[in-house]
Chain A
Amino acid sequence: MSHQKSFQYADLLSVLERVVDIMSAPDQYSYPSVFIYGHRATGKSHVVLSIMKDLELPHASVDCVECVSSGLLFHQVLSAFFGPDAAALLPRCPSLSDFVRLYKQMSSNSPATQTRYIILDRAERMRDMDFSLLPALLRLQELVNDNVTVILLSEIVWEKFRPNTGCFEPLLFHFPDYSKGKSLVQILSWDHHPSYTPELYASYINILLGVFFSVCRDLRELRHLAVLNFSKFCEPLEKGEAKESDIHKLWKNIEPHLQRAMQTVYLREVSSVQWEQQQMDEKEATTLRVLSAHAHIELPYYSKFLLIAAYLASFNPARTDRRFFLKSHGKIRKTNFLKKHEKTSNHLLGPKPFPLDRLMAIFYSVVDSRVAPTASIFSQISSLVTLQLLSQVGHDDQLDSPKYKCSVSLDFILAISRCVCVCVRLLDLLALSLVIQSQVVRQERSLFTAVSNLHLL
């Protein structure tokens, strides 16, 4: 896939040509199914839909996210081709054969003069639907004996779709990413502001891409950011402090601003409306509180201790409990206290599940006073689960020995224990258990979001 890097705008054109080629002879039978893939906002649906519009081809466009059942998909296809009356003939929970039967019936009444297209956007959702649906749609032309082509649009490569049992291989097209140099600047420059020259806007786009290109290649997002920050860019021009040719000065003015935008508005820590307002009354130096700034959660006293206990149970090996939580734990030889594999940071391994009784045992040794095992203590555990601070492992209805995991971060626990720590002992405990977990990995959120697209694959 190294050729993607050297992609030029011309490549996109060649793809387009090939796509149009397929659709150029509407009165002949077309290829039964086409699979188009490419990253978000590389123009897949836009290209396909505008070709459909321009050539006035009969088509049904369906977003698979919306199709919570396959019935909805059939319904939308039929009503697009044969009108809502035809769709109404579908039975209550239509099966694939119902759809095929009805399609045949309808198409015999009004046979296709042109190729009909079914466009399935976000086709990766089809994998979660009925397993026979995708293979059947791929050779729908054969099944209904009509001039119909199914176009699948997806962000995922075809290899991830292919069912175990094999299926008809669709025609594959790849929409490559826009390259930084030409295509993105070109495209983004299209919506330049009427009161400024296109050259100025293009240079603005260049600056913008210099900041954002490393974290975001999503055209839609970049356009959004470009519009949001353009007024700030033009501020020196309006005030008369700089001329349009003074690119360096403009760059100096906007660069820190864009950096700040990457930390806040790009991550939706600050909403775009708030961002605009902030730009307007910048002089008052309003510091907006970002979303993740209020990470602190007020919890009832015992809930805090339960959470601390859960954290300790989740990140400490069970065999160290005796040592940490018993006052007279006997003598333990310091060497070989920890096995080799336990010396790797527990934070890297993530939380481990623990049974309820271990949680309660640690809770009682951590909390100062004597606490009766009242119903409210136990209900606090289940409410911590609903607040998603703990998560239950296994089935909900498991009465016998429910297991939990602690799903909060170290920083959160430290903040909590700072509020409740009247006793030094608890701090010691936390510190002791942290000795084991020597390294703490802090993730950069913006790096994270860039990667998060990959988890789809």
Chain B
Amino acid sequence: MFNAAEMSEIPLTSSVSKGCFVFKSASKKRKRHVGVGDDENGSDRFRICQKLWETVQTNTEVIQDQLNKKVLDSLAEFIKKHGLGCSSDNWRQRARETPTAALMLGVNVPDHAMTFRSLCNLLQDSVTPFVVSVHAKECAAVKLLIQKVLEQLMGRGVSVDEEQEDDTALLQRTQCTISALCQWYKTVTKSLPVVVIFKDFEAFNSQVLQDFILICSRYTQELPFIFIFGIATSPSAIQHRLPHSVSSLLCIEVFHSLSCTQHLASVFDKLILNSQFPFKLSSRVIQVLVGIFLYHDFSVQNFVKGLQFSMLEHFKSQPLSMLCCQKQEALLSAKTLSKKNVERIRHLPSFMRYVETQEPQEQVQLLTNDEHVKEVCQQLLKNLHKYHKNYYPILQCLHSLTSSLPKFPLGKHIRELHVSCIEKNLWETEEYDSALQLLRILAKDELVAALRKCAEILKSTKILQNVLQQLEDFIGRLEALEGVSSEDSSGNGIISGKMEYQRTDLFQLQKTLLEKESRRTKRMNPFEVLRSQVIEFIDSLVREYLTPAELQPLNEVCYYNSSGVLRQRLNVTPRTSIQAALSHPFYYLQNESLKTDAGTISSAAPDLCIVYKLHLECGRLINLYDWLEAFLTVMSAAEDQDTNSEECGKYDSLKHARFIQAVSEMEFLGFIKSTKQKTDHVARLTWGGC
């Protein structure tokens, strides 16, 4: 079933989140566009794409900084406290405890690099210049670890002192010991702590760590060390790595960074649920990217890279993406559309749908008059921007309303709601119905609180003022109801409370409550009348503003929707591609002569492909001689037509060599291996081999 071929494919990476990525560099992409012939548009698109990418980059950095600020600040505080207070705490010196911060970062190891960079900068700016960060790969032995620490510390100090020749020579010639470091520290002394950051604590050899900690603890009086452990799993990893005799030398405090899912949510809010950002992803593409994140790597950086990749793909494959920019710019370029692009617009499915809805007169105009198309196009673009502007606030409102419902009928995260909104008509789904049902039985205070939240969201966006007006109106009316409905709503609440105590099954509860609701419809009190009005109002908002993006004319300009390509590129299956390359060489080489029917073996194919196809017909053990014979037969099949059989024998040694080379390549790829079971045989490793 599984075999060496697969095993050899395991990339030697150090983290969950390092997958295999094929990124086309921007410059390469540009060249290709020159080939297409639309050069001025290509460069335009390239420019837009680059600009967008820059905003993405700055935004993600800002988000990262914001999210990490709290934990980094508390770390800096910790180091400051220990750096100053150590000398006064006499007894702790006796116990030789080194202050240690255990920084929990989550399993997405590549994302840590950025955090550590900002941590280093922060510490160097505000606390101490003596910051060393070490990586497990460079420190296989204590000697190397000490050397690394000394290099980073003394190298920096030396360049300040301008005594380069003397000191560096000394360092190289004499020992790499902490006592040497001690001597150096006395010369530069500013009584600032020396911070050593272990970037990947889990990967360190525990013996190395133990020795290093033991050595450092001997010098705590002279050299105030502070350690920071970057831990990917859990704090108990420290106790698993270090025995008590060593961990008793540490004074460990734990710091938690934000979880990666929260990080993703904020990136999602900033980059995808934002009308200012013109480039959009279709529901399928979002699902692929989020799927990779949740199922495979937990890496926000890879998510952003996926976004970058889809941007590049979009701007490369869609010539009309030149309109995918800020509103003013887009309108300007819509005015100056080239003839070719106008034609392209006419072929857009969404535009065609739009044309069909128009009057016959207008239809003719749209299909013949370029200028008219340009004007309509501008109008449509305006509409598209307006759609986006309205879409996001309403989406947030709906999310805030439904995210507190039991069982989360419309999803826990806003991204799930977003995906179902742009995919299909939300109001036709069952989940939406059940969410509305649940909203209809909300108690008054809950409803008012939820509506308040919505009003705040709308206030902050400063659009949809009329909706906000209506909402506030509803809130006012609900509050005015105070005396009338208080006992009823509270009664409602008590009932639901009781039910929850009796049986925990929410479904049952929901059902019974719904039944009650239906029974009660006959005699509704003013609160219930108002409540159903509110719900209807929300429903109307959803129907008006949360229409699927695919129905918007010209949506292809902004939306990237080829999820298949994305999946193929980002979630690679190396083994499948090797097999595709070997069994259908045409697929990659694009050489006409390689086109063959399935099942036949063409002699024009590369030797490796021929050998591969022949080996598929064999069993567990392959007789090398038979294989060679078959190979020769295939080779000579083509030649037989124009040469006679005598010459065939002449080239035998050449063919023999080619065969041997092909076989060793097969071995290299992990399809076969040599065996001692039988002489002149090799073992097949695929499909139940060996």
Using a CB–CB cutoff of 8 Å, the interface residues on chain A facing chain B are 40, 63, 65-66, 68-69, 71-72, 75, 88, 220-221, 223-224, 227, 267-268, 271-274, 289, 291-292, 294-303, 356-357, 360-361, 372-384, 386-389, 399-402, 445, 449, 452-453
Contacts and interface: CB of A to CB of B under 8 A. Distances in A.
Given A295-B234, A375-B19, A378-B9, A399 B4 contact: yes
B133 to A, nearest CB: 18
Given A224-B95, A299-B107, A375 B572 contact: yes
Contacts of A292: 235-236, 239
17 contacts: A63-B218, A65-B211, A66-B215, A220-B95, A272-B97, A292-B239, A295-B234, A300-B16, A302-B295, A356-B10, A361-B2, A375-B571, A376-B20, A376-B297, A382-B13, A387-B202, A402-B10
A61 B7 CA distance: 52
Interface stretch (B244-252, B358-366, B644-652): B244-252
Contacts of A294: 104, 234-236, 254
Given A379-B10, A380-B297, 14 more contacts: A68-B141, A72-B175, A223-B95, A271-B100, A271-B253, A300-B297, A356-B2, A374-B572, A375-B572, A379-B16, A383-B16, A384-B16, A386-B109, A453-B245
A178 to B, nearest CB: 17
B376 interface: no
B7 A268 contact: no
A383 B573 contact: no
Contacts of A221: 248
B243 A452 contact: yes
B673 interface: yes
B63 interface: no
A412 to B, nearest CB: 9
A387 B240 CA distance: 12
Contacts of B218: 63, 66
A453 to B, nearest CB: 7
B575 interface: yes
B18 interface: yes
A353 to B, nearest CB: 15
Contact of B571 (A65, A273, A299, A372): A372
Contacts, number: 202
Is the contact region of chain B dominated by helix, strand, or loop, or is it mixed?
mixed
Contact of A301 (B2, B6, B236, B294): B294
Contacts of B574: 375
Contact of B296 (A63, A273, A300, A449): A300
A386 B202 contact: yes
Contacts of B8: 399
Interface in B395-427: none
B244 A387 contact: no
Contacts of B533: none
B490 interface: no
A241 to B, nearest CB: 26
A356 B106 contact: no
B316 to A, nearest CB: 24
B373 to A, nearest CB: 44
Interface residues of B, number: 83
Contacts of B177: 66, 72
Interface in B1-27: 1-4, 6-20
Interface string B124-164: 00000000000000000111001000000000000000000
Interface in B344-394: none
Nearest to A272: B251
A297 B107 contact: yes
B529 interface: no
Given A300-B295, A378-B9, A383-B109, A389 B94 contact: no
B487 to A, nearest CB: 39
A274 B252 CA distance: 9
Given A68-B142, A383-B15, A291 B239 contact: yes
Contact of B244 (A291, A297, A298, A452): A452
B233 interface: yes
Contacts of A224: 91, 94-95
A449 B244 contact: yes
Interface in B638-690: 670, 673
A388 B202 contact: yes
Given A68-B146, A294-B254, A297-B233, A379 B11 contact: yes
A376 B174 CA distance: 46
A297 B572 contact: no
A346 B641 CA distance: 67
B7 A400 contact: yes
Contacts of B67: none
Nearest to B179: A66
Contacts of A220: 95
A384 B239 CA distance: 19
Contact of B107 (A69, A291, A300): A300
B543 interface: no
Contacts of B596: none
